[in-house]
Structure 1
Amino acid sequence: MELAQRLDRLGTETAFAVAQAAAAWTAQGNRVYPFHLGDINIPTAPHIIDAMNRAITDGRTGYCPGPGIPPLREALADDIGARRGTSVKPENVVVMTGGKPVITKFLQAVMNPGQEVLYPNPGFPIYESQIEYLGGTAVPYRYLPTDAGFAIDIEQIRSSITPNTVAIIYNDLQNPISAESTEAEREAIAQLAIEHDLWVLSDEAYFETRYEGESTSITSIPGMAERTVILYTFSKKFAMTGSRLGCAVAPTEVAQVLSTLNTNDESCTTHYVQWAGIAALQGTQEPVAHMLDTLRERRDAACEIVNTISGFRVAIPQSTFYLFPDVTEAMQRKGYTEVGAFAADALHETGVSFCTREHFGRSQPGEDRRYIRLAYSGIDLTDIREGLGTLRDWVNA
C-alpha cells in the first residue's frame, strides 16, 4: 500500500526540529540556552486559568457551535474592531484552535489547485507548506535589509503577480525577522491587492506584542476589509500557546465557508477554552502589560549583547519577540560556509540553540547574506545574558 502523493508536498514548522536537537543535547547532560522556539515561558494569567477551570466545573465540556460560542465571538468582534479602527460584527468572527488553522482554511476557501499565492520568504514556514500541500503554487516575495531592519520588495511582488495569482499572505510585525511595514509599504500592498483583485491573509499574530508605537491593520485601508481575512491568536498576547485558541475575522461569505470547514475538521474549538478567551479579553490587562515589560527587558539585553558579537549585526525591533541578526562576517571569520553547520557547532560549543534563515522558507536566488533567528520569549533575562555572552566569547575567540 502507498500513502497519498500530496504528502510529498507537506512541510512542517522546522523550529521543532531544532528543538529536538536541543533536547537531545540536553539529555546528554549539557546546558542549553533555548533561543529556538517562539514559545513563552511566562504563565497564563490566573484569572484566565480560573475561568477555564470554572467552565469545566460548570459542565462546559461538550460540543458547542462550530464558529464559536456567541459571547466569545461578540467579545472578539468588539476588541479586534476597536483596536483596528474598523467595524467587525460577530458573524465575521470564526473561532479556531489557534492561529495556524486560519492559514489552511483561508487557502481552502479562496485557492483552487494550480493557482498562485504570494507569501513572505523568509516567513512562517506553514504558509509555503500549506499552499503546496493543497495543490497551489507558492510564489515567494523577499525582504530587503535596511538600517531599521527589513522592507518588503514591493517591485518583486508587483512583477510576480500573474492572471493566475489569487491571494497574497501578508505578515506585518513579521516572524522571523520582526519587520514592520511603514504606512507607505502597507498602502502599496493594499493597492496591488485591489488593483489585481486579490484575497489577502493578514497574519496579525503579533499585532499587540509591541514595545513602542501602535500597530495598524491593513483592513483599516479603504477597500481592504472586504477582501482580507485577519489571523488572530490568543497565543502571543495572553501567553496561551498550549490552549490553542484563535480566530479568523473574515468577510461574511468567507466566514460562512470557514465555519463549515470547522465543522468538517474538528466540529468545534474546545468549549471551556473559549470561556477562558472571554476572560482574557474582558478581564484585567495588567498581566499583558507585565509580560510586555518583561519581553522589552529581554529584547534590550539581547540586542545589546548581539551587537557586541564580532560579525553580528541586528536592528532593534519594535515588535514581536525575535531577533534576526546578519551573521555573515562572523561565519566568514570562523571559516563557515553553511549556516546550518554554524548553528550546530554553536549549540555544541556554547549551548545556545537557535534557528537559521533556512528554517523559514527556501532561499531565493541572489541571497548572499546569512542570518539566524533568536527568540527571547522562552528564556529568562539571566540566561539570555549568560547564553549570549558565551556565544560572544566563542565567536570572538
Structure 2
Amino acid sequence: MFKVIDKVKRLEAQGRDVVHLEIGDPDFKTPKHIIDAAKNSLDFGETHYGSSWGLFDFIETMRKATSKSRGFLPDINQVLVTPGANISIYYSIFCLVNPGQEVLVPNPGFPTYLSSIAMCGATAVPYPLYEENGFGMRAADIEPLITDKTRLLIINSPQNPTGAITDPENLREIYDLAVKHDLYIYSDEIYSRMVYEEKSFFSIASLDQAKERVILSNGFSKAFAMTGWRLGSVIAPPIVAERMMMLLQTTSSCVSAFVQRAGIAAIEGDQAPVDEMMAQYKSRRDLLVDGLNAIPGISCHKPGGAFYAFPNISSFGLTSEEFADVMLEKADVALLPGSNFGSQGEGFVRLVYASSADNINKALERIASACKKL
C-alpha cells in the first residue's frame, strides 16, 4: 500500500490529478454529536489515567449494543476497550499463540494479520477464498490445513479486501470445526455495521457468547468515520480478556477517556448521520461495481458489505501489480493490487468506494479508456 502511496505523491507533485481509490478511510467527517461528546469530556476534566479495562460507562454501552446486535449480553469481565481495532489482532495472537504454533488466516485477507503473526514468532497458514463462492469462508477449505500446531483461526466478515459476507450456515460450520479441533476463533467484525442488503448481521460469537473460544473484535473507525480516533473493543472469554488487558496495560496504559465518551455518543446518539453514510456507500457500491462490469475484460462480484470492490482483471494478461501500475501511470487512478492481500488476490485489484460519486465516475472513465489500450 505504501509503495502505491509513494507513487501517488510523486505524480501529484508533478501536478497530476489522481483519483484516490486505494485507502480504506471514510471520506465523511465524524458526526458532530460525537465530536461534541469528546469536547465536553475534555472540558469536564477527563484528561487523566483511567482503568486499563476502559470506562465503566463505555463497557456498559458495549454490552447493551452487543445484546441488541448479536443476541447475547456479555459479562462485564469479557469486555476490553482497545486503542483501535487493529491492535487487538496483535493482542490476541500474542496472548494465545506460542512461537512455532500456527494461525489460519483468510487469503486474500487483511495484511496486518500476517505481520502480527510474524511479530509473535508464529506461522501464518493462509486458507483460500474463491471468487466462484463469492469469496465467502468455508469450513471445507479450512479443515485440510489444520495440524496439531494450529492454535487460532482468524475470520473476517464482511471482509477486507473483497467485501464478502459469509452466510450464517457456513459460519456455524466453521465454529463446529473450531470445536472439533479445539481452536480459538478471532472474529474481525470491524465492518459489521456496513451490510447493504436487507438482512441482519450474524456474528459467530453468538454461538458461544464469546465465553469459550471466540474473540469478537470491533471498532469505530469505519462505520462512524472515526479512523483517527483509535477506538475499538474486544469481547472474549474472561481469561483471554484479562490477559489482553494486562498486555494493553503494559503497552499503552489505557484508552483516553474523552475518546471513549465519543464512542458512547456514537452508539447511543443520533444514528441519522450513520444511516446517511451507509446509504451513500451502497449507492457508490452499485455505481462502481456496475461501471466495472461494463468495462470489457473486467468482472466484479457485488460485495455485500464493507466499502471495497475486488474486480477480476486477469483477462488482460498482467499481474495485479502491473495492472495497478498501468492504472496509476496511464489513467491517474490509484488502486491496490490484489496480490497485496495474499496469493489468492493475484489477478484482482482492490478499489475503495469511500469517495464521491463524481470521483468514482471519473475513475471509471479513466479505467475504461486505459483498458481499451491494453
Q: Does the TM-score normalized on the shorter chain lie above 0.5?
A: yes
Instruction: Indicate which of 63, 71, 78 corresponds to 2:57.
Output: 71
Q: Deviations over 1:68-103 (max 9, x none)?
A: 111001101110222001121232111111101110
Distance 1:271 1:46 in 2: 18
Flag as ranges the 4+ runs of structure 1 deviating above 4 A: 222-225
Unaligned ranges ≥5, structure 1: 1-14
**Is 1:390 matched up with 2:366?**
yes
CA contact (8 A) 1:19 1:37 kept: no
Instruction: Indicate which of 28, 32, 35 corresponds to 1:42.
Output: 28
CA contact (8 A) 1:225 1:251 kept: yes
The aligned amino acid for 1:341 is E
Instruction: Indicate which of 349, 356, 360 corresponds to 2:341.
Output: 360
Instruction: Indicate which of 314, 337, 342 corresponds to 2:323.
Output: 342
The aligned amino acid for 2:366 is T
CA contact (8 A) 1:352 1:388 kept: no
CA-CA distance at 1:180 after TM superposition:
1.1
The aligned amino acid for 1:209 is M
Corresponding residue for residue 381 of structure 1: 357
TM-score normalized with structure 1 length: 0.91
CA contact (8 A) 2:210 2:235 kept: no
Q: Deviations over 1:156-186 (max 9, x none)?
A: 3111111111110011111001111122211
CA-CA distance at 1:152 after TM superposition:
2.7
CA-CA distance at 1:155 after TM superposition:
2.7
Residues 230 and 323 of structure 1: CA distance in aligned 2, closer, same or farther (over 3 Å): same
Residues 17 and 74 of structure 1: CA distance in aligned 2, closer, same or farther (over 3 Å): farther
Instruction: Give the secondary structure class of the aligned counterpart of 2:45.
Output: coil
CA contact (8 A) 1:60 1:271 kept: yes
Corresponding residue for residue 371 of structure 1: 348
CA contact (8 A) 1:117 1:136 kept: yes
Instruction: Indicate which of 8, 15, 18 corresponds to 2:4.
Output: 18
Distance 2:284 2:131 in 1: 23
Distance 2:233 2:242 in 1: 13
Instruction: Give the secondary structure class of the aligned counterpart of 2:280.
Output: helix
Corresponding residue for residue 9 of structure 1: none
Instruction: Give the secondary structure class of the aligned counterpart of 2:212.
Output: helix
Q: Deviations over 1:223-270 (max 9, x none)?
A: 864211111100011110000000111111111111111110100112
Instruction: Indicate which of 82, 86, 98 corresponds to 1:96.
Output: 82
Instruction: Give the secondary structure class of the aligned counterpart of 1:36.
Output: coil
Instruction: Give the secondary structure class of the aligned counterpart of 1:235.
Output: coil
CA-CA distance at 1:22 after TM superposition:
1.5
CA contact (8 A) 2:188 2:218 kept: yes
The aligned amino acid for 1:358 is S
The aligned amino acid for 2:157 is D
TM-score normalized with structure 2 length: 0.96
CA contact (8 A) 1:295 1:321 kept: yes
**Is 1:200 matched up with 2:176?**
no
CA contact (8 A) 1:149 1:314 kept: no
CA contact (8 A) 2:72 2:209 kept: no
Unaligned ranges ≥5, structure 2: none
CA-CA distance at 1:285 after TM superposition:
0.7
Distance 1:223 1:268 in 2: 25
CA contact (8 A) 1:326 1:371 kept: yes
Distance 1:375 1:160 in 2: 31
The aligned amino acid for 2:164 is A
Distance 1:90 1:43 in 2: 32
The aligned amino acid for 1:348 is E
| Percent of aligned pairs sharing the same letter | 35
How many residue pairs match? The answer is 372
Corresponding residue for residue 212 of structure 2: 226
Instruction: Give the secondary structure class of the aligned counterpart of 2:135.
Output: strand
Distance 1:171 1:343 in 2: 25
CA-CA distance at 1:28 after TM superposition:
1.4
Distance 1:108 1:226 in 2: 18
**Is 1:136 matched up with 2:133?**
no
Question: Which runs of structure 2 are paired with 1:1-397 in the superposition (5 Å)?
Answer: 15-146=1-132, 149-212=134-197, 213-222=199-208, 225-329=211-315, 331-332=316-317, 336=318, 338-361=319-342, 363=343, 370-377=347-354, 379-397=355-373
Please, which moves more after superposition, 297-306 or 339-348? 339-348
The aligned amino acid for 2:363 is G
Q: Deviations over 1:290-330 (max 9, x none)?
A: 1001111111110111011111101111211000000011x
Q: Deviations over 1:315-373 (max 9, x none)?
A: 111211000000011x23xxx3x221221121111111001111113x16xx8x60000
CA-CA distance at 1:20 after TM superposition:
2.6
The root-mean-square deviation of aligned C-alpha atoms, in Å, is 1.5
Distance 2:234 2:2 in 1: 25
Instruction: Give the secondary structure class of the aligned counterpart of 1:243.
Output: coil
